[in-house]
Amino acid sequence: MEKVLQDLTAKEQQLAVKSPAAGVVLDVAAKKEQVLVPGSLVATVAVLDRLEVRADILSDDLREVRVGQKVAVSAPALGEKVLQGEVKKIYPRAEEKQSALGIVQRRVPVIISLSETANLKPGYEVNVAIETFRKQNMLIIPREAARTLEDGRKQVKVVVDGRVRHRLIETGASDRENIEVIDGLRSGDLVVRDGSLDLAEGARVRCRI
């Protein structure tokens, strides 16, 4: 009888599934009396003090993303607080995702580790900003301030003594909001923010700063 009990106890231990880490069970995938095969997902467990962020990056933007780059993470749940993170892993293939507008896009999952989690919880929606380029003492203007001419050169409209002057500029690095000016402007120049405005050379304007 004792031998039978020992065999049953050993069998029970073999059938028991133990989590590899202490945490909180988020979801139980296995159903009662379900027959499982090796490798089947039984449950999802979150280690709350080691949360990571998964961000789906457009494949066209991935060429500038590297493992180790710094990341700023914000979310409505964080208020004004911004968490610091780092790109930990870039998946080797893209996945097709449908945007909120119904557009199918190819995106690559990127895993971001966080130095702290604050009050974030699994499943929260966050915004991530990956620092792909750093340069100090840059002169930048809003992208919409620079107008591209037919020959490809960049032009801005500046205000000098109350009149509009068209000025060619040489540009450098840029992102979705700003563009670097290498030559053609100086710090303190008054630039018309909307370069598409039809303002003739020498037109008199009134500035509001």
Burial class (CB in 10 A: 0-12, 13-18, 19+), 90: middle
pLDDT digits (tens, 9 = 90+) for 136-177: 888 999 999 999 999 999 999 999 998 999 999 999 988 878
Could you tell me the CA-to-CA distances from 183 to 82, 180, 191 in Å, in that order? 34, 9, 14
Give the other-Cβ count within 10 Å of 126's Cβ.
18
Distance CA 70, CA 87 (A): 7
Query: Could you give phi then psi for residue 168, rounded to 5 degrees?
Result: -80, 140
Q: What are the phi and psi torsion angles at 165 (to 5°)?
A: -125, 130
Structure-token pair, residue 55:
């961000």
Which has the closest alpha carbon to 160: 201, 127, 108? Answer: 201
Using one digit for the tens of pLDDT, what is the confidence trace for 27-51? 676 777 777 777 777 777 666 667 8
Tens of pLDDT along 167-209? 999 999 888 789 999 999 999 999 999 998 888 998 888 776 6
Q: 87 pLDDT exceeds 90?
A: yes
Q: Report the Cα 63 to chain-centroid distance in Å.
A: 14
What pLDDT, on a 0 to 100 scale, did the predictor assign at position 97? 80
